[in-house]
Structure 1
């Protein structure tokens, strides 16, 4: 029997990402254990730049109790593209997984999508994250075909239906 990691209990703040977060977000993406081995090519050389942060609705979850530079340690982040509506990136630090942070980020993304007038948001999932998206309410709508050389495998495609409050 494995033990479950307890839910997030420390103060977590979700704030809009800013240009100075770019290097930390890039490290989070490139360092993700979910992209080791056969999946490494998908993030090799990947960069979350200040231009990307400014062009999209990118939000970070920070541990308000820890101070890493400005604004606390980044535990995870997501990026919402409004047109066409897509959850482009969603990452949680390896040591923060299993505590409800991914669900917290998805809930925040849904509120942002609702505020922007969206009724659905598409996400092309990393295969190992498929179960996560099912658990947080996304509906499987298809398969995104491989795009070699960076992504040489098919990926599950999901949709979040954004309901009015």
Structure 2
């Protein structure tokens, strides 16, 4: 795996609300990397929706390369804690170092928020990535889909 994307100029910037549809489409494409069949995530309802209000109301950042969005992340607050709600890399760019860059930026953004830890609810296929980034798995949670389990991680932001 490359540690820094190559091939063009890249930057991480705040997402614009008008990009919400593009981010939702990227998120859907990303899931094809893991070969989930069409309609597999229908059981989650609106959980995969990315409305403009989500982008406007939360720290959502995109990694842009040569003017195109290669990945993004979003942080949300839930029950007083900070959650890495989304971190997606376009399907054709997974394994190229974009996820690591987004993770590092998300951690810096989370630290600046003043929270003590970052909570991550991970797809089972992405769990090894979060473990490699230093997050500690503390639980798994069943879902309405018996073949898919949410992996819960914590990442300390202090110390």
> Aligned ranges for residues 6-155 of structure 1 at < 5 Å?
7-9=4-6, 10-32=8-30, 33=32, 34=34, 36-37=36-37, 40-41=40-41, 46-63=48-65, 65=66, 72-82=67-77, 83-146=80-143, 148=144, 153-155=148-150
Change (3 A) 1:7 1:113: closer
- Tell me how far apart the structure 2 counterparts of residues 113 and 14 of structure 1 sit (CA, whole Å): 15
Deviations 1:81-126 (A, max 9, x none): 1342100011000111111110111110110111111110101100
SS at match of 1:31: helix
CA RMSD of aligned residues (A): 2.4
Q: 2:21–2:51: 8 Å Cα contact kept in structure 1?
A: yes
Q: 1:124–1:144: 8 Å Cα contact kept in structure 2?
A: no
**Larger strand proportion of the pair:** 2
**4+ aligned runs moved over 3 Å, structure 1:** 4-7, 42-46
- Tell me how far apart the structure 2 counterparts of residues 52 and 141 of structure 1 sit (CA, whole Å): 27
Change (3 A) 1:112 1:132: same
1:56 to partner: Cα distance: 1.1
Gaps of 5+ in 1: 66-71
- Tell me how far apart the structure 2 counterparts of residues 62 and 29 of structure 1 sit (CA, whole Å): 15
- The number of aligned residues is 152
Gaps of 5+ in 2: none
